[in-house]
Amino acid sequence: MQLLRKVYRFGSTKHRFASDIKSTNRQKMNLFQAINNALDIELGANPKALLFGEDVKFGGVFRCSQGLNEKYGTDRVFNTPLCEQGIGAFGIGLASVGYTAIAEIQFGDYIFPAFDQIVNEAAKFRYRSGDQFNCGSLTIRSTWGAVGHGALYHSQSPEAYFAHTPGLKVVVPRDPIQAKGLLLASIRDKNPVIFFEPKALYRNAEDEVPLDDYELELSKAEVVQQGKHITLIGYGTQIRVLKEAAKLAEKDGVSCEIIDLQTIYPYDGQTLVDSVKKTGRCIISHEAPQTCGMGAELSAYIQERCFLHLEAPIKRVTGYDTPFPLVHEPIYLPDKFKIYEAIKQSVNY
């Protein structure tokens, strides 16, 4: 069993970008270790923080809660039965009396039994009670996205369903450093947040993650790569794909600006608009199906504000409008070739 990293509790520092963090106190971690570290920090600093979900106690099926039950005890880190609706609703109840409820839904594909609770109860609590009550200290963590062999029910990206619900916040990190900062910010944000963790990156993404208690601002997008000719917008695992596509385009002399949305809703529209006004072209890419995906929303928002700056229509390179397939996953996913193709079409418009 891995030893838990030493936790620094000097109080949290808030940053706009991960690059602002000057700490030299870092450790190589992958995504699940970074999440684990964030949870450890919160459970340590906040005696009212509780972590619960299916199989959370032994460490979680993706090892995100490894060692936490041993450290904080079963009255703070515990298992629930197999009942997503129960988990969601239970979390709302806990949050409404002031506990910091961190509920885990094992796969994003399973979040739907809890959909009513999240959309109707959690999102509207503050509004319908005239601010007498709220469940702001609720954070729902769930796994997200394609993993290579997940098929229909272990690969979905359900962010769009929740982005359509005012009252909620939806966050998707791209890397361990962002994940830790965004998760801590999400937990401490006084609104219910759904935090989707790209499962494909749990082991594959590694970085030197600061050991401090730090938060990264929500509702702020980050320009991951500066560019001149076209803006590529994405989030989560897709940022890596965008970077690959940008490399292909670079050989043709096209310089791509890549933006990580980070907070899906409420999103940082200003950063997107500033970028597209500069480049004049835009591609939005995500694994979720095309119709009514985040690409649709962002396209509408950007064209409304950048119409006279656009040199080409905004393109969306996304999953097809089909259920997430079994063996056809490589064809379904918006890979670097499809994005490269879209870049070419946009630049040559």
68 closest CA partner among 147, 160, 2, 18: 2
**Interface residue with another protein, options 13, 46, 63, 86 (CB under 8 A):** 86
Residue selected from 1, 3, 308, 327 as contacting another protein according to rule CB under 8 A? 327
**Exposure on the CB side of residue 12, measured as CA atoms within 13 A:** 22
Please pick, among 15, 54, 154, 297, the residue that the annotation labels catalytic: 154
Give the residue with the Cβ less far from another protein, 108 or 173: 108
CB of 54 to another protein, least distance (A): 8
Q: How many residues does the chain have?
A: 349
- Specify whether 154 is catalytic: yes
CA–CA dist 277, 161 (Å, integer): 29
- Quick note: the x/- pattern for another protein over 264-303, rule CB under 8 A, is ----------------------------------------
Output the smallest distance, CB 155 to another protein, in A. 10
SS (H, E, C) 45-76: HCCCEEEEECCCCCCCCCCCCCCHHHHHCCCC
> 143-162: which residues touch another protein (CB under 8 A)?
148-154
Q: Which is the catalytic residue, given 42, 54, 84, 329?
A: 84
Identify the residue whose tokens are 């089909």.
322
DSSP 3-45: PPPPPP-S--EEESSGGG-----EEEEEHHHHHHHHHHHHHHH
In 3D space, the residue among 335, 54, 285 whose CA is nearest the CA of residue 157 turns out to be 285
Q: Which stretch binds another protein (CB under 8 A): 63-71, 77-85, 178-186, 295-303?
A: 77-85
Selected binder of another protein within 79, 225, 255, 303 (CB under 8 A): 79
Please identify every residue annotated as catalytic. 84, 154
Binding stretches for another protein (CB under 8 A): 54-55, 58, 61, 79, 81-83, 85-86, 109-110, 112-113, 148-154, 320-323, 325-328, 330-332, 337-338, 341
